[in-house]
Amino acid sequence: MTIKGISIPKLAFAAIPSIIILIITIFFNSFYEIISSTVLPDSTIAVKSLWFYPIAVYILFSIFFHICFRTVLKKIQNNNSSKKDILNVIEQWSGIVDGIGTALPLLGAAVLLFTVGLGTSYQDLFLSFAVPFEIKSLLILATAKLFESIFDEFELQVQKELGEDLEGTTENILSKDVKIEFVNYNYEALNEINSTNASWKETVADMKDPAFKDTLNKIMKITGKS
């Protein structure tokens, strides 16, 4: 299912920033262990494996975009929806991605508070799981924000596609209206306008007659205006 105005390469290019953040998030464990060993040299922190966490969320974002993509193209091809309805579909799915990205750091904060409430005996759980989970959630939030650029690019392409269609439709409607206007034109009114115009021309011609000028001068003398 393709539309001539939709460029897949441009959509793929818009996905590059979010993919870069995804890669950083996947390999965050190694960075965290290095930083932890530097800050706390006397402790050994084995970070819980959370590599699948950002990948699973990104796959979910991709599924949402795929659903949005298919839905919008189907509406365009069926030509049974307005431009506003089609753009609302894109905004709704983009809002879902943004909502998930915003909710995950809040979930991570709840995990942090829970592990803190367990006491010092669960300090390892706090450092090895809760903190990395919260940081990765924040990185996923950044991924979600950058992922929205894919929806933005898709929306621009759809607007261009719909704009061209609407422009052509407007032109056709305008042509039909002009044709109807000429067909239903009131010829009686046109004859009256032509008659009035002819009378005006005759009056102007009479005013140029020398006899008319002599008569006008006599009238002005009688009335004392000359």
69 and 147 part of one domain: yes
198 and 172 part of one domain: no
pLDDT tens track, the chain, 226 positions: 445 668 889 999 999 999 999 999 888 877 776 666 666 555 555 566 678 889 999 999 999 999 999 999 888 888 877 888 999 999 999 999 999 999 999 999 998 899 888 877 777 788 778 888 888 999 999 999 999 999 999 999 998 888 755 444 444 434 444 444 444 445 565 566 666 656 655 655 655 566 656 665 665 566 555 5
143 and 198 part of one domain: no
**Residue 74 included in any domain:** yes
25 and 128 part of one domain: yes
**Residue 95 included in any domain:** yes
User: In Å, what is the CA distance from 46 to each residue of 29, 37, 71, 107, 112?
Assistant: 9, 10, 44, 22, 17
Q: Provide the domain limits for residue 33.
A: 8-183
User: Residue 32 in 3-state DSSP?
Assistant: helix
155 and 109 part of one domain: yes
154 and 200 part of one domain: no
pTM (2 d.p.) = 0.66
DSSP 122: G
91 and 134 part of one domain: yes
**Residue 2 included in any domain:** no
Q: Cα torsion for 168, 174, 180, 184, to the nearest 10°?
A: 180
User: In Å, what is the CA distance from 29 to each residue of 109, 124, 136, 199?
Assistant: 18, 15, 9, 96
Domain count along the chain: 2
205 and 108 part of one domain: no
